[in-house]
Structures are given as C-alpha cells and as structure tokens.
Structure 1
Amino acid sequence: MEKIDELFELLDSDVKRNINKQAFNDIENVFLDIYSHYDSEKPELVSWVCNASPGHGKTQGLISFLKWVTTQESKTPILLAIREKNLVYEILNRVNKFKPNSIISVDSDNKDIVEKDLFKFQIVLIQHSRLENMALGYGNFYDYKKYKGKNRILIIDEKPNFAHSTTFEIGTKNNVLEWFDDLSEGLDGYSSLTTQWIKSFITMLLAEQLYKNESDVTTKLLEEEEVKSDRGTTLLNIIKEMKKMQIIKVNLNH
C-alpha cells in the first residue's frame, strides 16, 4: 500500500466520505516530504509551508499524519504548536485513542508536572504562546526539542505572531516565490540570506503596488529612489544574471 493510501485509511470513516481526496493528497504530500527530508542521512535545516486554503482538510490531514508516524519504525519525534486550545484537545484525544502514550500536551496547568517527562513521548503538543516564550528565551527549550537523542520536527499550525505575514513563506519549500528560486538557482556570488532578502523586497513591492495602483495596469514596480537603493541595485543585478543564465541554458539545450 502506498504511504498516501495508508494515511487516507487512518481518517475517521465520516471524514473519508466528505473529504476532497485530491486536496487531502496534496496536503499529505507536504507532510511526507518533511518526513522524508528528516529521515535522510544528513537533513539540512529547511522549512515547508502547507498553504492550502481553509476548509481543504489541513487539520484532518495533520491528525492522520500524526497517527501514521506513531506506526513507523523510525519513531520520528514531533513538536506541534497549535493556536486554538480546543484543537489541542481534539488532536490529543484522537491520536491518544489511536496510539496510547504516544502524545502529550503541555499547558499552564500541567507544565510543572509533565515537563520532566516529555522525553517519553514521541509527539509533544504546545500552544503558540509557549512557542513564542521559548523563541524569546524563556523556559528550557531543550526539554521540548529532544526525543531519544533526536531533534523533533517542529510543526506550527497557523502563522505564529512573531512571523510577519508577508515574509512567513519566504525561503521555504512550497513558497509563493518558487519562480524566483527556480530562476536564481545556480547564480554565483549570492548567499541564501541575500536571496531571501531580495524575495522579501519583491513581496513588499508587489504589496505596495496593489495598495497604490488604482488601475489594472502595472508599468513599473521600482520607484526611482528604490532603483538607487542597495536592495534595488542588488535586485536589478540579480535579474541581469538570471537573464544571462537563461540564455546559457537555452544555448546548452540546443
């Protein structure tokens, strides 16, 4: 049985009848990509964004994936940050019912009791507020990070408050600027930090154009002052290099 079929079989029967199978497959393929990347010999630090629209089954897909990882021999550990408290309880109950003692939830009421035992659980559930505190250096992140000597995969349900909405997907798999990643691949002299900076700049330019331009025609995104700025100059230089790369690729293909 294919992995995607295994995941589908782990859905509740009523969900199976109503879920859009193609949307479910697309969502689960993101989770499976994360899983495969983590299980590779030397995984690089990389992030994915599952940018499916609301109502397409991300929560059901997530619960199915969590059930599935508890059945795998590798016992891939996960730290899951959820915004809504009710959803924390729903995930906790459904996964625990499927695989008892595989998952634990940490909240303000039980934190002092359960933190010392987190290493015993493959999946740890927290809310966004705890994730934000740990990002600011409060609490012992190591207790949440490790499971049997392995680093946990961090899955965040919904955009966290400390991530800006226009740059949350920058530099990720399945991001909204995949075309830039494709065209900039192979460029010399530009670090990943520079390309991420430029992608943030592109996103800002597009947002600004949508705000300022009252017509449906766009003639120029870069204002004169931006053309002369460091980031404007860098962006234009990168585009020139991209054009050269495309010409070389075409010549090589012929």
Structure 2
Amino acid sequence: MKKIIITLMSISILLIFVGCNSFNSKDKYNHTWEYETKEYKNMNASDLINLRNKLIDAELKGLPKSDYEQQKKEILGNENYQLVGFVNCFYTNMPEKDNLIKQIKLIKYVDSLDYGINPCGEFIYQTNMNYQLNEFLTINNLWTKKNKEKQCFDPDILLNNFEKIYEYTDLDKYIIFDLIHSSYSDYTGKSISLEKESILLNKFNNIKDKKYNNKLADIKFHKNYFLVNLKSIKGRFESKLKEYNLSNSEKENIKSDLELMNDLIKN
C-alpha cells in the first residue's frame, strides 16, 4: 500500500501553491466547516454520492471509455492517496454525510483551479491543506489583491496568526507548526531565525487543544513528523548555546527554549 509521506519538500510545494495572504485586524472569524456545509444541509447521503459522481464524470469528460473507467476507479479507491481512501483514513471518525461533503469540496476546489484530479502520491493530501487555507482566507475576507496575485506566503503573517488558522480549520497544530517553520526558507531563501523559532515554539506550546470533534483530522499522521523536525530544531539551539559571545540573557532564553523542546519531545 502506498503511504503519504509528509516531507519538507511537500510542504514547500503547498506554500507556493496556495498563495500569499494577509490577515486584517479582525475579531470575528468563520469556521470553514460551517461555511462549506450550508449548500448541502438538505441533501441526504444518496444525494451527495450522486453529486460527487457527477462532478467526477464532468472532470473526466472526453476520455475514452476505458481510460474513464480506470480513472474513476482510481479516484474512488480506498488507498490513502485516493479521494475516498484519503478522507476515510485522515478523518476516521467523520460521519458519512460529512465525509461525502469533504470529498465534494475537494473535487470542486481542484476544478476551480483547472487542475485534474490526480489520485496518486500526495496530490489529495496537498489539495486538502490548500483548500483548507484558501477557504479560511476567502470566507473571512483576509486576502488582499496584491498578495493574492503574488501567489506566495508571508511567513510572518502565518506566524502571527497560528492560533486562528488552528482554531478555524480542521488542520492540526503539528502540521501548521511545520508549515510555518518551513515557509521562511521558501519565502526568504534563508532559514527561520532562532528568535522567530522561539516565538513559534511558545505559540505551539500555549495553544489550547481543540475540543473533540468528529470532523477533525486524525493527528497521529502528523505528530511523528513534528517530533523529527523538533529534534532538528533542538540541535540548532544547542549549537547556538555553545557560542562564546552570547549575553547571559540570551543564554537563559535558549536554555528555556531547550527545556520546552525536551518537554514537548517527552510528551
């Protein structure tokens, strides 16, 4: 069985693909799920299956019959790199109707970008993250024309809004941490500074876990990768601590961050 492997490269692709965004000073936000279910609330599971299949048929229109049948079979397959398998695998507790709505929204999102559905590798996984962030920015009027045209992320905006992204999407805190962390090198060509790494670590540590919700993604798929990344970050801080020209306050701050990382790794 093929497995979706979360890598820094894949997250980099995500950051380029989704686009640059800007958060305004705004107190009220809308949850992506509440927004995306409005048009489907009066539909039953059978209606949703028919709609999903019609959308797939439209995507595959014009293909020879044999290719059409093979492509549709691949899209609706149960492997975790295929549409149905991905939603079943990453949203293990999601009710049937919500599961189907998620599938429909992913198909519509791909169609809006004029991309064909590619049921292989990390395409569906990446599409889900892209879709989540785009919906959040769009429904809360957080795009600016200039930033949207640039098609790139400002990592400082992501860092400043870590909590909001976590709270109002179904993305878990582990993947958001890694996404923000890697965005600095993608955007600036340089590694994230230790100062901003420290801010990111403390934001992650202070964030309150979401209440259980059967629409949320299963965090076990991202936690292991987060821990691998965290050990690498820890190495940078340990190397910095060995520098001879640090002030006492700088040393204490680094030691405090190292203690935090040790606690996160243990837990």
Per the TM superposition, whether the score is higher than 0.5 is no
Question: Aligning the two structures, in what range does the TM-score lie when normalised by the shorter sequence?
Answer: under 0.3
Task: Name whichever structure is richer in strand by fraction.
Answer: 1
Q: Which has the larger radius of gyration?
A: 1
